[in-house]
């Protein structure tokens, strides 16, 4: 099942963001450190490139991500022109203090005191934009929740006489091109539950974890994961945790939520669902499949 999620208010949010970007100096794009590229909205990239705005990519929730993989992502982004990247946890106020000086370094012309440095916080839903805003301002001004799309409109605040912040609603894009991105976004809670089937998401998540973090799974759930696939993992969790429906069958939906919540909370360990290398492989495979589809002759029904 391809996952798509584009609530109506996001169309107006995009239009407003395009207008505001004309008046800002630096874009702060908040990403989920566990899925940096899957959580990177191509609409934001298009808007900032059109306006030629530099970007600070904040890999938030770094405390939940695999630290070695996060280092690889930082290296990947810091080689891009007009981009700086930093990994932090917005829930740690001390981490957020690094953000203004990094933005200043991306807009040195705003260091003369004539005009304030104007920073615009953007990103997809539920990656921690409002948490970052609250940490920077050292007070609770933005509503925070563990559900996507809590912020519904732009808010502007003065960080100091020389720095201004604009918080924007979380924006998805109209069509998620790669199915794997949809599943990673859903697993990481960036997509509303009304758009997904938890069991399907957990099966896809389980397949990635079995491939790259099998020892952590075995330690968390107390069984061997050898020769398991995604569905078998969810079934095994249901059996081990006593998830039963009326009549005695396994409650796979409940087991799926256990796996998803354990991943989201970090209970399984520090996990990254994609690396720069797996991203390249996925994109290369996509190009090959699209090319093969174009080259194949049309199928005629008898």
Phi, psi of 186 (to 5 degrees): -65, -40
Q: How far apart are the first and last CA of the chain?
A: 29
Q: How many Å apart are CA 208 and CA 258, to the nearest integer? A: 16
For residue 91, how many other CB atoms are within 10 A of its CB? Answer: 16
Domains observed in the chain: 11-167 (3.40.50.300), 197-277 (1.10.1580.10)
Residue 1 has pLDDT above 60, yes or no: no
Higher pLDDT, 145 or 164: 164
Residues 257, 181: contact at Cβ < 8 Å?
no
Give pLDDT, residue 297.
65
Q: Is the pTM of this model over 0.85?
A: yes
Write out pLDDT tens, residues 208-238: 999 999 999 999 999 999 999 999 999 999 9
Give pLDDT, residue 152.
56
Higher pLDDT, 294 or 81: 81
Three-state SS for 216-260 is HHHHHHCCCCCCCCHHHHHHHHHHHHCCECCCCCECHHHHHHHHH
What's the mean per-residue pLDDT of the chain?
89
Strand partners, 95: none
Residue 91 has pLDDT above 90, yes or no: no
User: Cα dihedral sign for 216, 217, 222, 225?
Assistant: negative
């Amino acid at each position: 099942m391809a996952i798509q999620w584009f609530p109506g208010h996001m169309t107006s949010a995009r239009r407003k963001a395009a207008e505001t970007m004309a008046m800002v100096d630096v874009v702060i794009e908040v990403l989920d450190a566990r899925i940096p590229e899957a959580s990177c909205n191509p609409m934001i990239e298009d808007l900032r490139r059109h306006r030629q705005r530099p970007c600070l990519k904040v890999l938030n929730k770094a405390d939940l991500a695999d630290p070695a993989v996060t280092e690889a992502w930082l290296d990947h982004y810091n080689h891009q022109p007009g981009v700086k990247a930093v990994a932090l946890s917005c829930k740690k106020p001390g981490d957020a203090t690094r953000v203004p000086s990094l933005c200043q370094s991306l807009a040195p012309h705003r260091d003369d005191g004539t005009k304030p440095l104007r920073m615009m916080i953007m990103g997809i839903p539920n990656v921690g934009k409002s948490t970052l805003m609250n940490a920077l301002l050292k007070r609770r001004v933005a509503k925070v929740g563990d559900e996507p799309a809590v912020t519904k409109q732009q808010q502007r605040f003065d960080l100091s006489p020389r720095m201004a912040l604009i918080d924007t609603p979380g924006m998805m894009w109209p069509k998620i091109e790669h199915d794997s991105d949809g599943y990673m976004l859903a697993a990481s809670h960036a997509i509303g539950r009304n758009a997904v089937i938890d069991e399907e998401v957990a099966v896809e998540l389980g397949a990635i974890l079995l491939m790259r973090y099998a020892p952590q799974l075995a330690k968390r759930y107390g069984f061997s994961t050898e020769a398991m696939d995604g569905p078998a993992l969810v079934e095994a969790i249901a059996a081990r945790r006593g998830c039963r429906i009326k009549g005695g069958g396994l409650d796979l939906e409940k087991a799926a939520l256990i796996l998803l919540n354990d991943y989201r909370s970090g209970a399984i360990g520090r996990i990254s669902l994609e690396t720069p290398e797996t991203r390249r492989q996925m994109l290369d495979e996509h190009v090959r499949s699209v090319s093969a589809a174009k080259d194949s002759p049309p199928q005629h029904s008898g």
